[in-house]
Amino acid sequence: MSLSGTAKRWLAALTRILGVVARPVHEAQGEGGVVIQPYRGYGSRHEVFLIGRVFRQSRSAPGPGRGDLLANLRDIGQRIARRAVSDAAVTARFSGAEGSFTTDRDGYFRVHLSPPLPPPSDRSWHLMDLALAQPQSAQAQAKIFIPPASCRYVVISDIDDTIMQTGVANKLAMLWRLFVEDAPSRVAFPGVAALYRALHVGTSGDQQNPMLYVSRAPWGIYEVLEEFFSLHGIPVGPVLFLREWGISWTSPLPRKAENHKRELIHNMLALYSELPFILIGDSGQHDPEIYRQIVEEHPGRVLVVYIRNVSRDPKMIRQIEELAKVVAGAGSSLVLAANSVAMVEHAARLGLVAPETLSDVRSEKAAAPEAQPQTNTYGLQRATPSQTADAVSQGDLQHLIETGSKPTPPSIIIEPKTHEPPKQP
């Protein structure tokens, strides 16, 4: 009996969803038994970092059926049955440097090497060799991103509610929206892909500025994010997850990691000590508080902070005011953006992206089926950093946040008055 068109579409979508979930099994670097799974790493010409995992996995059965529905179900079963290998010594080799790193109780290992020889300068992605002798021989190769001399800044971006509109911890919900609903623009914020591509290449088109992504989600969702980034054309980079959930029958709750995001950004600032930073987040959770601490502790290192989806919640307004005072006092810019257009307009004005990026972001936003209406952009700008910070303290920012059409908040730029200000209310 032949399937109807609708049934075929649903079956194809289901096969694709299962294929993404099963991908780590049939792409694992190893023939079965004990496997090394590296994630993308990052570094400079003097230091490199990588996270990976060692686990036991039953042998796959490659053949013509790989990739079909039954094969994907079998691979998912293998993934569920994986067992972490703790206390295993992984040897890492990169550009003349070698070190041994031990896996933790969840099988994760963290590599930190200082190569005596600079890696080749003709490319940004480099290979690291990984090897395991016990409890079973295994090898793998990992990709390491090292910024070229042409890069001009580093971008650190949150993922949840900053790039995508659905929580990344809900893996199946996001895959459903990507493949079944067939509406990628409802998953990524309209315009975000064009904006991030522009930030990566810079004004010259070849800067290859590092794009570092952070999330509270576990490493188990890594392949889903890879699919999401690929479908939307968002530049890939090391995804610096904050934690492995560590869920088990004896410990059913995820372990906490309140300070890991701030520590990660501190590490990035130290690693790329000669480059300024762009921080991108949202007002929904802890980004304003974390970014305030970063700007306060590293004055002069942050060019601009972009915060998406400004909230009118009194508690969040207070956090944003504290962030704005610190950013303004440091002479940097804070953009509270109702959408990606507000971000790209400001980035183009600062010379961070090419002017033609504005039309790319606007076109992407306009094509979205659920595009938000255009909102006003207001400026809170004074002659000096201290005067700008004082204006925030006196309630000017809170007044602007409460201005504009509801429920969509306006976009607001807070910075010293070095440019022609946008529209004032």
Range in 24-28, 187-191, 338-342 the model is least confident about:
24-28
Instruction: Return the pLDDT at 117.
Output: 87
Residue 311's pLDDT band (boundaries 50, 70, 90)?
low
Which positions ≥6 away from 106 have C-beta within 8 Å?
53, 84, 86, 244, 246
Instruction: Give the model's confidence band at 366: pLDDT under 50 very low, under 70 low, under 90 confident, else very high.
Output: low
pLDDT of residue 58: 59
pLDDT value, residue 137: 83
Mean pLDDT across 402-420: 74
Higher pLDDT, 104 or 244: 104
Mean pLDDT, rounded, for 110-116: 94
Q: Count the neighbouring beta carbons within 10 Å of the beta carbon of residue 315.
A: 8
| 152 has pLDDT over 90 | yes
Fold of 5-19+28-145: Immunoglobulin-like (2.60.40)
Least confidently predicted of 92-96, 283-287, 358-362: 283-287
- Most confident of the ranges 107-111, 302-306, 356-360, 363-367: 302-306
pLDDT number for residue 370 = 55
With bands split at pLDDT 50, 70 and 90, how would you rate the model's confidence at 233? confident
What is the pLDDT, as a whole number, of residue 353?
94
Stretch 308-337: mean pLDDT:
85
pLDDT of residue 400: 86
Confidence at 310, pLDDT banded by 50, 70, 90: low
Residue 198 confidence (pLDDT)? 95
Neighbours of 102 (CB within 10 A): 12
The reported pLDDT for the residue numbered 60 is 54
> Among 101-115, 159-173, 174-188, which is the least confidently predicted range?
174-188
pLDDT tens digits, residue range 32-64?
577 888 888 999 989 999 999 888 765 555 544
Bridge partner residues of 51 (DSSP): 110
Helix (H) / strand (E) element for 386: namely helix 385-393
pLDDT at 248 over 60: no
- Percentage of the chain beyond pLDDT 70 is 68
How far apart, in Å, are the Cα atoms of 241 and each of 19, 84, 212, 244, 369? Answer: 22, 18, 10, 8, 31
| 25: pLDDT strictly greater than 50 | no
- As to burial, measured by CB atoms within 10 angstroms (0-12 exposed, 13-18 middle, 19+ buried), residue 309 is buried
Identify the pLDDT of residue 101. 95
Whole-number average pLDDT of the chain: 77
Task: Give span(s): CATH 2.60.40, the chain.
Answer: 5-19+28-145
Rounded mean pLDDT, 261-274: 89
Tell me 357's DSSP state: H
Rounded CA gap, 40 and 19, in Å?
21
Whether the CB-CB separation of 152 and 350 falls below 8 Å is answered with: no
pLDDT tens-digit series, residues 80-100:
445 678 899 999 999 999 999
pLDDT of residue 424: 41
- Confidence at residue 406, expressed as pLDDT on a 0 to 100 scale: 63
